[in-house]
């Protein structure tokens, strides 16, 4: 098994090597599209299950809305069409005939959903509507990368309708909190969070909230967004309700989403030069047992011992005995390292003599001989320890990647030299934000809730300003 | 709450009334498309979970392939393109430009998947590939019906690759068995099963196997199909592997799928004039408790009793206390009957005095006063009894709906008078099959494994023949 490119040689190539060679994804024959292979999909399934449980625990229900949206719907919200129309795939023919009105493949579903909400919402009794859908969406992309940016991607999109601005605002913030918790507790990925600037917000939103991770190469990655939409879509689709006082009023809205790009974020948060490193909670397999088999020998005692080690763990962890006889133990070690399985157990003839097995941690490489009778307990403790250890390691990297500067020169120099999140004072003007982007390619990733007040903008020197994180981003 | 149309007045209108008023689905503003609302989607989610577990237990893994397929791919398998091209939606523009090659939205994914299998399969070691995907597909339909036939629908499609014809054949039959088990054990829907005739098989298959349910109006419904594809797609996409003897050979294939139309099949198997009747295993809610609240009275004792009844059941069944104070108890009874919740518990002031609650079965309407302390046990036993009772009732209806005739005149008369599956001798000729369809609109639903040999075809009088079920179908 040939090695993948090393990170310090070419981070971008390392990523592609890893994702393709670990059989997480492959390029599709359609430009910009990907195939998610079983190993990558199993990670996404675990993410889906965890998120779906969290959405349901916060009162949301799943529904499914059509893939195809009449082109005219997109045009009803002025900012929305400007943002999304250029990215759409357009269906012009169906059933062998030219369509009267072209249909776009959903780039996001606000418009079709609000067209339906108009049918379903009449009174305050119908509110709130707390719906989510798991779906594929399509945005025509020029430069694509497996998982991170593809023309078609998988995601979930929540779309809620509320009687008051306050409720909708709270909902948008609550779901950002759910994403933040998911990122930390499941992905072991610490994030910055806050509102987007007007230049960076969702097309059609009043406010966009975001969580932002820091990848190993110093670039930021937007990992989830939650939008307070105000009455923009309710007005565009004329969705009014009768309030408790009998007055007609436009409905308030939110939408929020995370996508299969989270799988890419997971790779670039934990993986190393040997391959993927998976947090146990999201690993399709938590433990693999590799019996050290010899060619042309009687391996039955080893295979029996391997099976006995697995038995007490089978109901508790996702485990498998890799008993293939057509590849060597070393080949298997490399393969499971590449695929990021958190714990490997090796058992060979010498271990058998000593009544032990060797437990190997994927994240640190640490090898520990363990009495066979203690393996089950040891492995469960280890898995419980690996999850927070990965978060802690990623948190230290995030903290080390956050730097603070006051001048534009320092901002440029630090972005150039170190990457990461460079916090600098900003006056709030779009012009200053644009100038930084022109000269450094870095954008303001979010305005943190607790942003420090400063006297002078790093770009124009005017005040008041607040300290916000700039970064180059995926 | 207005009543829905009765079945004997207009079965078709009853179905639409039920599906829309129970908030299972609604018409989308795009022709032929539907919106699956939370109640309908929750049923589909339960179906998905059960099927997915069964697929994984039989060794399958999930993956995800692109929505868009180059038009040229579809043309590579001659029968396949003939069957599907006329039903396709075609994307001609993307990202503001006309595409060099039009892309079709997948009507099914054999072609894109076999284009990928060519990259992944080289040796016998790579086989079998046992993949499934959960996805949306699109087939341009002229006449649509909520859940049963819509332009876009949700489904799963298994696509497997094997080294031998025998293995692939066994896989196709195994998955038909999975569908049959799912239909009976989860949906409480007994089915006929067998191979399709050549006229009715999947475009590109060697053999199509099917399960066929009988709806309450005497029409058959194809509920799941499993195809043995032979080497048709391997040849079309040049997918060869080196076998153990070092020779190159084309791969053998299967594909198999069930869709969200199963939700419609569930409705037409069990529902009645009051609404949906759900088998407990697929019910989003198994039990609803309706406290009999009085306007302008102190209802706290009743609400407390209702909550206490729910508590011991909460970890065991999907249960909810309907404590809304803006609709009457009678309104709630109707609503939960319409939505098909298997068991309702009523508790009012008189029940409180007697220390009892009234347990009501949705399928039979039977009401039983039960001591409050016995409610938890009683309800669990009842749920366990309802599931097989529904299957048994449906089985009796299926058996009563199977009739046997020998002549073409009797076939026509019985189809006209009674509907259902009418078993008649058929010689195997496509001409005779076509003639029956022309004159009666009925088709051969399947050729059962144990089809009875007969001497003379009901149509042409020639022999040998076998007795096969004709029916009008959805």
Average pLDDT over every residue of A353-382: 98
In this prediction the pTM is 0.97
Q: Which residues contact A55 (CB under 8 A, 6 or more apart)?
A: A62, A132, A156, A158, A178
Would you tell me which residues 223-242 of chain A have a C-beta closer than 8 angstroms to some C-beta of chain B? none
Does B89 lie at the interface with A, CB-CB under 8 angstroms? yes
Does CATH number 3.30.110.30 belong to domain B402-471? yes
Where are any strands of DSSP class E within A44-138? Answer: 61-62, 68-70, 89-94, 97-105, 129-138
Task: Provide the token pair at B302.
Answer: 């009743």
CB A344 within 8 A of CB A333: yes
Does A94 lie at the interface with B, CB-CB under 8 angstroms? yes
Q: Do B92 and A92 touch (CB under 8 A)?
A: yes
| DSSP string for A228-292 | EEETHHHHHTT-EEE-TTS-EEEPEEEEEEEETHHHHHHHHHH-BTTB----GGG-S-SEEEEE-
Closest by Cβ to B91, choosing from A86, A91, A95: A91
| pLDDT value, residue A1 | 61
Residue B70 with chain A: CB contacts under 8 Å: 29-30
pLDDT digits (tens, 9 = 90+) for A371-420: 999 999 999 999 999 999 999 999 999 999 999 999 999 999 999 999 99
Q: Do B115 and A34 touch (CB under 8 A)?
A: no
Q: What is the DSSP letter of A6?
A: P
pLDDT digits (tens, 9 = 90+) for B117-147: 999 999 999 999 999 999 999 999 888 999 9
Determine the distance in angstroms separating the CA of A397 from the nearest CA of chain B, rounded to an integer.
33
| pLDDT value, residue B334 | 97
Closest by Cβ to A152, choosing from B44, B67, B154: B67
| pLDDT value, residue A128 | 98
How many Cβ atoms from other residues are within 10 Å of residue B98's Cβ? 10
Does A87 lie at the interface with B, CB-CB under 8 angstroms? yes
Q: List every span in chain A annotated with CATH 3.30.930.10.
A: 11-270
Q: List every span in chain B annotated with CATH 3.40.50.800.
A: 285-384
pLDDT digits (tens, 9 = 90+) for A72-119: 999 998 888 888 989 999 999 999 999 999 999 999 999 999 999 999
Average pLDDT over every residue of A174-201: 98
Average pLDDT over every residue of B63-69: 98
Average pLDDT over every residue of A347-352: 96
Task: Provide the token pair at A44.
Answer: 């996404």
Determine the distance in angstroms separating the CA of A142 from the nearest CA of chain B, rounded to an integer.
9
Average pLDDT over every residue of B50-73: 97
Would you tell me which residues 146-175 of chain A have a C-beta closer than 8 angstroms to some C-beta of chain B? 151-152, 154
Q: Do A64 and B41 touch (CB under 8 A)?
A: yes
Average pLDDT over every residue of B295-300: 90
Residue B62 with chain A: CB contacts under 8 Å: 38, 41-42, 45
In chain A, whose CA is at the least distance from the CA of B94?
A89
Domain A287-382 belongs to what topology? Rossmann fold (3.40.50)
CB A208 within 8 A of CB A202: yes
Residue A326 pLDDT > 90: no
Residue A158 with chain B: CB contacts under 8 Å: none
Mean pLDDT of chain B: 97
Q: List every span in chain B annotated with CATH 3.30.110.30.
A: 402-471
Q: Do B73 and A136 touch (CB under 8 A)?
A: no
* CA angle centred on A44, ends A54 and A18, rounded to 5°: 140
Residue B10 pLDDT > 70: yes
Q: List every span in chain A annotated with CATH 3.40.50.800.
A: 287-382
Average pLDDT over every residue of B352-366: 98
Pick the CATH number of B11-270 from 3.40.190.10, 3.30.70.890, 3.30.930.10, 3.40.50.1820: 3.30.930.10
Q: What distance in Å separates the CA atoms of residue A219 and residue B304, rounded to the nearest whole number?
A: 55
Q: Do B90 and A89 touch (CB under 8 A)?
A: no
Share above pLDDT 70 across residues of chain B, in percent, rounded to a whole number: 100
What is the band of A288 on the pLDDT scale with cuts at 50, 70, 90? very high
Backbone angles phi, psi at B98, to 5 degrees: -75, 135
| pLDDT value, residue B1 | 61
Mean pLDDT of chain A: 97
Does CATH number 3.40.50.800 belong to domain B285-384? yes
Residue B237 pLDDT > 90: yes
Q: Do B152 and A116 touch (CB under 8 A)?
A: no
Cβ contacts from A onto B, under 8 A = 159
pLDDT digits (tens, 9 = 90+) for A425-472: 999 999 999 999 999 999 999 999 999 999 999 999 998 999 999 999
Residue B73 with chain A: CB contacts under 8 Å: 29
pLDDT digits (tens, 9 = 90+) for B360-402: 999 999 999 999 999 999 999 999 999 999 999 999 999 999 9
Determine the distance in angstroms separating the CA of B192 from the nearest CA of chain A, rounded to an integer.
31
């Amino acid at each position: 098994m040939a090695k993948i490119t090393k990170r310090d040689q070419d981070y971008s190539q390392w990523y592609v090597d890893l994702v393709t060679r670990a059989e997480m994804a492959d390029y599709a024959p359609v430009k910009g599209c990907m195939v998610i292979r079983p190993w990558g999909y199993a990670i996404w399934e675990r993410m889906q299950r965890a998120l779906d449980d969290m959405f349901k625990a916060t009162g949301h229900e799943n529904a499914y809305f059509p893939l195809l949206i009449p082109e005219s719907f997109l045009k009803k919200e002025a900012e929305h069409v400007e943002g999304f129309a250029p990215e759409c795939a357009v269906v012009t023919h169906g059933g062998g005939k030219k369509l009267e009105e072209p249909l776009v493949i959903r780039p996001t579903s606000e418009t079709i959903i609000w067209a339906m909400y108009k049918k379903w919402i009449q009174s305050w009794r119908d509110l709130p509507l707390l719906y989510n859908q798991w779906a594929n969406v399509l945005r025509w992309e020029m430069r694509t990368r497996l998982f991170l940016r593809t023309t078609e991607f998988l995601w979930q999109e929540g779309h809620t309708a509320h009687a008051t601005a306050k409720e909708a605002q709270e909902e948008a913030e609550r779901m950002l909190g759910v994403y933040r918790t998911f990122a930390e507790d499941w992905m072991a990925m610490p994030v910055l969070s806050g509102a987007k600037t007007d230049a960076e917000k969702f097309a059609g939103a009043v406010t966009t909230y975001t969580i932002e991770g820091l990848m190993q190469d110093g670039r930021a990655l937007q990992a989830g967004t939650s939008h307070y939409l105000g009455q923009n879509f309710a007005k565009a689709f004329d969705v009014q309700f009768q309030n408790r006082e009998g007055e007609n009023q436009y409905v308030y809205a939110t939408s929020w989403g995370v996508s299969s790009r989270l799988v890419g974020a997971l790779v670039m948060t934990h993986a190393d030069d040997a391959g993927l490193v998976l947090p146990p909670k999201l690993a399709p397999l938590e433990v693999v047992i590799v019996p050290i088999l010899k060619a042309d020998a009687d391996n039955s005692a080893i295979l029996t011992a391997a099976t006995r080690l697995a038995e007490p763990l089978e109901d508790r962890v996702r485990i498998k005995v890799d008993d293939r006889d057509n590849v060597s133990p070393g080949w298997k070690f490399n393969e499971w390292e590449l695929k990021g399985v958190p714990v490997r157990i090796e058992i060979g003839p010498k271990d058998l003599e000593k009544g032990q097995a060797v437990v190997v941690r994927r994240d640190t490489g640490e090898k520990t001989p363990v009495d066979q009778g203690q393996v089950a307990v040891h492995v469960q403790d280890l898995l419980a320890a690996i999850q927070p250890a990965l978060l802690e390691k990623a948190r230290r990297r995030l903290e080390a990647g956050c730097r603070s500067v006051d001048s534009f020169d320092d901002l440029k120099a630090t972005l150039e030299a170190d990457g990461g999140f460079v916090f600098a004072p900003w006056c709030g003007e779009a012009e200053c934000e644009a100038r930084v982007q022109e000269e450094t390619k870095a954008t303001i990733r979010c305005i943190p809730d607790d942003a420090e007040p400063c006297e002078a903008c790093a770009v124009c020197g005017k005040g008041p300003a607040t300290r916000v994180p700039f970064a180059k981003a995926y």
